[in-house]
């Protein structure tokens, strides 16, 4: 076999080592799934084998789950449902054969086991895991629009009960080793390196070769659908899942159905039920869009898909961050975690020290969770130098300024920093709106000047937007991407323009909420509709989060730059009054559209004086129309960015939208949404909104031309790649 190696010891215990060649991490490829039945059959029929231990040959982990690209292409080769079911059943059938082979099989989990990787271990009769904070165990498929399809819905429900299993699967929750043992997912936690020995010891001590659910005395923990207690799991669970998903994710509903139906029948029938619902889910546009954007495209971007060819790989060792506020301190933290020496500069030593204190606070959280040793903590904190001295920039591979959004301040910082930079270093501006070409005018080396836009909080937000000025060269692009990949973020590269890609398009969501407010929609209705679209928060509460006074400052800078061409957005005067007359800045000072002096937050009672409610009609038809309105406004702006050349890769557009501002993940991103809606239908609907709400909805000529030709964004992109 290519992916598994079998060694039988003197005690008759077969050590089955899972090791996919040429990969740093094991995944369930089609080749792997074809070989599982082979070694299962040998374990079953070879009289010399008394039991088996399954472990990984990779230092990086046990198994990261299914190879989604491989799996999707294999199961969706055509519209033949029987063929799709057979492909989906391949893993489930193999794992069922494993747990009924008649010999004890233990999993020695010596690294992370996620998705299909954990499902593989759940089919073993005993599970031992190493005691390492780096190990995670979980079924995160829901995050890419799927649910467990390798027996996870049935085995986990029977192990820990329906309620606990549904919570873990619907949230995509991961467990650390001891938490997994406490939950009943694994049997034993042992020191790292002792997993195989402990697994063999269980077999030698008479390990039972029968799963709990195959024992005649088995009872489902917590009870099933017709048990007085168990029924509550489905009555309450159905409502909770609706609250979480707003009906946008077929995977959530099909997960509940698979569990509800499956726990009422024997395991063989239950696994067939799971497979049917899994295939049904996999064929939905939501799953296809999410798999492509959140797994395949993201993986390609993470590996440098848009990095300029022909530029030598760089490895930044020292990076300076100028500006030690929350953003700059967050950048310093992720750099320290990546092993990069960091100089953190601010105007005063007090401010610089405060920034380093934030780094220390984040590191302490990891220390308290056992994710860092004290020595490692000390070393990481020691790699950050808080200072006011620009001379310490010398030797930096990269400088990132994260100062106030003011052109003059940024220009001063640029000149002072560049005076210390050596040849081959790059200067990056962490600006969210100011055009890079204009900021580069302060630089004596504009070819090495670039935008590197982080998102807050930096330690949690995974996207970094790289913005090219007119003179930015390939060397600066490549070096910036190497840096972003080293700090383990996902990069997208866009061209210059006010607001670039992410800030510009995100702003339309917030602005459309303001327009609805000015039209007289009830504030609570606006935010509820926003959440129902699949956005992480409503437009008004999200505006509070980013700060109302920041919006005012950006608007004033934009007005200064554009002069007579500047047009205030609908509802703008409401925000201006709140900030300048009433001192309501948003969540940052506890006063915005909401009051934050109590929990939960409450809508500000004075808002009705600034924006009297005229529309409180929340019929399903109105809600669906306004949900579409909020999504279409953002998607139209994305299409405008494409037409203007700000962005030209559908992968970057979709991944960037989801990771940066939370564009409804179930859509697969705005470009996928347009493609799946159909260009003609999208244009027609956008035109209707333009007639009703204004030219901001008017589709760009690009969309009209594509609609006339029957084109799609991804179709054109794949065509270009094939031609290249």
Name the percent of the chain lying above pLDDT 90: 85
CB burial readout 40-71, b (16+ within 10 A) else e: bebbeeeeebbbbbbbbebeebbbbbbbbebb
What residue has token string 């899942």? 241
Taking 80 as the threshold, does the pLDDT of residue 78 lie above it? no
Q: Can you read off the two tokens belonging to residue 466?
A: 């790289």
User: Does pLDDT of 403 surpass 60?
Assistant: yes
Q: In sequence order, what are the beta bridge partners of 29?
A: none
What pLDDT score was predicted for residue 73?
60
How far, CA to CA in Å, does 705 sit from each of 442, 600, 671, 679, 711?
40, 48, 16, 9, 9
Residues pairing with 234 in the sheet: none
What's the rounded Cα separation, in Å, for the pair 159 and 213?
A: 9
On the question of pLDDT at 468 being above 70, the answer is yes
What pLDDT does 674 receive?
A: 98
- Bigger pLDDT: 724 vs 219: 219
Mean pLDDT, range 604-613, rounded to an integer: 95
- Is residue 578 within 8 Å of residue 549, measured between CB atoms? no
Considering all CA atoms of the chain, what is the largest pairwise distance in Å, rounded to the nearest integer?
87
What distance in Å separates the CA atoms of residue 91 and residue 524, rounded to the nearest whole number? 47
Per-residue pLDDT, averaged over 285-292, amounts to 94
CA 384 to chain CA centroid, nearest Å: 28
- In sequence order, the β-bridge partners of residue 171 are none
Sign of CA dihedral 577, 579, 584, 586: positive
pLDDT value of residue 100? 97
Sheet holding 126-130, edge to edge: 4-8, 13-18, 51-56, 105-109, 126-130, 188-190
pLDDT for res 243: 85
Q: Which of 511, 498, 502, 466 is nearest to 629 (CA)?
A: 511
> From CA 537, how far away is CA 526, in angstroms rounded?
11
Give the residue numbers annotated as catalytic, written as ranges. Answer: 453
All domains in the chain, ordered by first residue: 4-277 (3.90.226.10), 318-499 (3.40.50.720), 503-719 (1.10.1040.50)
**Better-scored residue on pLDDT, 69 or 181:** 181
Per-residue pLDDT band for 79 (boundaries 50, 70, 90) equals low
Q: Compute the average pLDDT of residues 684-690.
A: 98
pLDDT band at 545 (very low <50, low <70, confident <90, very high): very high
Gyration radius of the chain over CA positions: 28
Q: Percentage of the chain surpassing pLDDT 70?
A: 99
- DSSP track, 483-547: HHHHTT-EEEEEE--TTTTHHHHHHHHHHHHHHHHHHTB-HHHHHHHHHHTT-SS-HHHHHHHH-
For 268-285, write each residue's pLDDT tens digit. Answer: 999 999 999 999 999 999
pLDDT digits (tens, 9 = 90+) for 479-518: 999 999 999 999 999 999 888 999 999 999 999 999 999 9
What's the mean pLDDT in 353-382? 95
CA-based nearest residue to 277, from 238, 250, 241, 243: 250
Q: What is the mean pLDDT of residues 681-701?
A: 97
In this prediction, residue 76 carries a pLDDT of 46
């Amino acid at each position: 076999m290519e992916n598994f190696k079998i060694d039988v010891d003197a005690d008759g215990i077969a050590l089955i080592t899972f090791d996919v060649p040429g990969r740093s991490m094991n995944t369930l490829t089609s080749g792997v799934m074809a070989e599982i039945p082979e070694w299962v059959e040998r374990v079953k029929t070879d009289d010399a084998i008394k039991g088996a231990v399954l472990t990984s040959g990779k230092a990086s982990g046990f198994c990261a789950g299914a190879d989604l690209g491989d799996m999707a292409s294999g199961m969706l080769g055509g519209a033949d449902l029987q063929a799709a079911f057979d492909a989906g059943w391949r893993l489930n059938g193999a794992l069922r054969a494993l747990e009924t082979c008649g010999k004890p099989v233990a999993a020695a989990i010596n690294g992370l086991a996620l998705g299909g990787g954990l499902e593989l271990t759940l089919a073993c009769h005993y599970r031992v895991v190493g005691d390492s904070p780096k190990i995670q165990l979980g079924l995160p498929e829901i995050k890419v629009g799927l649910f467990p399809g390798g027996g996870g819905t049935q085995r986990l429900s029977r192990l820990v009960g329906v309620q606990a299993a549904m919570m873990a699967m619907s949230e995509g929750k991961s467990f650390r080793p001891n938490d997994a043992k406490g939950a009943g997912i694994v049997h034993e936690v042992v020191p790292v390196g002792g997993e195989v020995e402990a697994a063999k010891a269980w077999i030698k001590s008479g390990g039972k070769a029968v799963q709990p659910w195959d024992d005649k005395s088995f009872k489902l923990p917590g009870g099933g659908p017709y048990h007085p207690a168990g029924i509550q799991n489905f009555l309450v669970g159905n409502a909770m899942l609706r609250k979480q998903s707003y009906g946008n994710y077929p995977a959530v509903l099909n997960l509940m159905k698979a569990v509800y139906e499956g726990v009422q029948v024997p395991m063989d029938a239950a696994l067939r039920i799971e497979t049917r619902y899994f295939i049904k889910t996999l064929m939905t546009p939501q799953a296809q869009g999410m798999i492509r954007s959140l797994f395949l495209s993201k993986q390609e971007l993470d590996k440098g898909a848009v990095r300029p060819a022909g530029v030598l790989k760089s490895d930044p060792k020292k990076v300076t961050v100028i500006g030690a506020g929350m953003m700059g301190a967050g950048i310093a933290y992720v750099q320290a975690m990546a092993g990069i020496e960091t100089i953190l500069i601010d105007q005063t030593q007090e401010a610089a020290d405060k920034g380093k204190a934030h780094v220390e606070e984040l590191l302490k959280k990891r220390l308290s969770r056992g994710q860092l040793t004290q020595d490692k903590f000390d070393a990481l904190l020691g790699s950050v130098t808080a200072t006011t001295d620009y001379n310490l920039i010398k030797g930096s591979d990269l400088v990132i300024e994260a100062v106030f959004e003011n052109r003059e301040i940024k220009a001063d910082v640029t000149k002072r920093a560049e005076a210390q930079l050596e040849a081959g270093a790059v200067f990056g501006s962490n600006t969210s709106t100011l055009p890079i070409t204009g900021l580069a005018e302060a630089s004596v080396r504009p070819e090495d000047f670039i935008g590197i836009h982080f998102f807050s909080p930096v330690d949690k937000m995974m996207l970094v937007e790289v913005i090219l000025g007119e003179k930015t060269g390939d060397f600066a692009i490549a070096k910036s991407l190497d840096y972003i990949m080293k700090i383990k973020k996902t990069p997208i590269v866009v061209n210059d323009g006010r607001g670039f890609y992410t800030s510009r398009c995100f702003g339309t969501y917030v602005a459309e909420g303001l327009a609805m407010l000015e039209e007289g929609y009830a504030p609570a209705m606006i935010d509820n509709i926003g959440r129902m679209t699949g956005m992480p928060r409503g437009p008004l509460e999200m505006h509070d989060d980013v700060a109302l006074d920041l919006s005012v400052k950006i608007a004033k800078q934009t007005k200064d730059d554009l002069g007579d061409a500047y047009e205030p957005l609908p509802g703008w005067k409401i925000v201006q009054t709140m900030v300048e007359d009433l001192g309501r800045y948003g969540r940052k000072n506890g006063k915005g559209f909401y009051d934050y002096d109590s929990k939960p937050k409450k809508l500000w009672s004075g808002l009705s004086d600034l924006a009297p409610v005229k529309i409180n009609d929340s019929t399903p038809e109105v809600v669906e129309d306004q949900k579409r309105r909020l999504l279409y406004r953002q998607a139209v702006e994305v299409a405008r960015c494409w037409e203007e050349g700000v962005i030209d890769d559908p992968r970057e557009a979709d991944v960037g939208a989801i990771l940066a501002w939370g564009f409804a993940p179930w859509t697969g991103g705005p470009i996928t949404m347009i493609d799946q809606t159909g260009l003609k239908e999208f244009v027609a609907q956008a035109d209707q909104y333009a007639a009703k709400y204004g030219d901001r909805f008017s589709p760009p000529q690009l969309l009209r031309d594509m609609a006339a030709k029957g084109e799609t964004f991804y179709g054109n992109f794949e065509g270009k790649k094939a031609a290249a």
